[in-house]
Amino acid sequence: MDSLASTSLSSLPDLWDAVFGSQPDPALWVVIATMVAALAVVVPHSVWRISRNAITIAHEGGHGLVALLTGRTLTGIRLHSDTSGLTVSRGKPYGLGMMLTAAAGYTAPPLLGLGGAALLAAGHITALLWLATALLVSMLVMIRNVYGALTVLLTAGTFLAVSWLTGPQVQAAFAYAAVWFLLLGGVRPAFELQAKRSRGGARDSDADQLARLTNVPAGLWLFLFHAVSLCSLMGGGRWLLEM
């Protein structure tokens, strides 16, 4: 299969197999190269200021998805050019649903990366790309500002173009790079939040909101964010590197 565009849409079994079937693992050097590429857009601060937008999409998407799953009414998501974001939902301002919604932001990128690593380990490269596209398109409906809409639309378009127009080698490299980015990029925001709080800033962060909701110190919620991101990186990285 050179690309999904070359698959006859009149043959639904062939299309189903092309999307949800398994694809061969890329060579180990491709996996390592994509890891290095992900590090190159996560570690340098100048590049991270741009690439962090993708982590913000996952962060706010996590808030929104869990809000819906816990029965809250999602009213809108905003993404800003400074890589901050805001997800607004209606419902009780306390209780398990509100707590899970608040906790979902910092944990969403690494957990999405872990889930992506599981799909790649099972050989479902194209399915991962289509699932990511579907999630982004679903999120687009709830975006309430122009910058956010453009950012999500561009990201979804990139995933769709790669999954539809490119061959298995390019798809594999892109999928592995995206998952490495979520795993590695999911670690940095919690450390950034910790640094801001140590300087007396970010007192309305997710960790502080959780502290007010649960009477558990914000520092312990930060520890949870660190634990989830680092464990996801270790587990997901192991899956990706096991060829």
Angle at 182 (CA atoms; ends 178, 186), nearest 5 degrees:
165
- The tens place of each residue's pLDDT in the chain, 243 residues long, gives 456 655 544 565 655 566 666 788 899 999 999 999 999 999 999 999 999 999 999 999 999 999 999 999 999 999 999 999 999 999 999 999 999 999 999 999 999 999 999 999 999 999 999 999 999 999 999 999 999 999 999 999 999 999 999 999 999 999 999 999 999 999 999 999 999 999 998 889 999 999 999 999 999 999 999 999 999 999 999 999 986
The Cα-based distances of 133 to 124, 175, 243 in angstroms read: 14, 12, 26
CA atoms of 152 and 217, how far apart (whole Å): 34
Interatomic CA distance for residues 98 and 67, integer angstroms: 7
pLDDT, position 35: 98
The sign of the CA dihedral 203, 205, 210, 213 is positive
* Beta-sheet pairing, 73-79 with 85-90: antiparallel
> Could you tell me the CA-to-CA distances from 92 to 61, 107, 135, 154, 192 in Å, in that order?
20, 22, 26, 34, 30
Q: Which candidate, 30, 29, 7, places its Cα nearest to that of 172?
A: 30
Amino acid at 78: R
Model pTM above 0.85: yes
Strand partners, 78: 86
> CA 175 to CA 224: how far, in whole Å?
27
Residue ranges covered by each domain of the chain: 24-241
For the stretch 16-27, what's the b/e string if a residue is b when 16 or more beta carbons lie within 10 angstroms of its beta carbon?
eebbeeebebbe
Res 12: pLDDT:
55
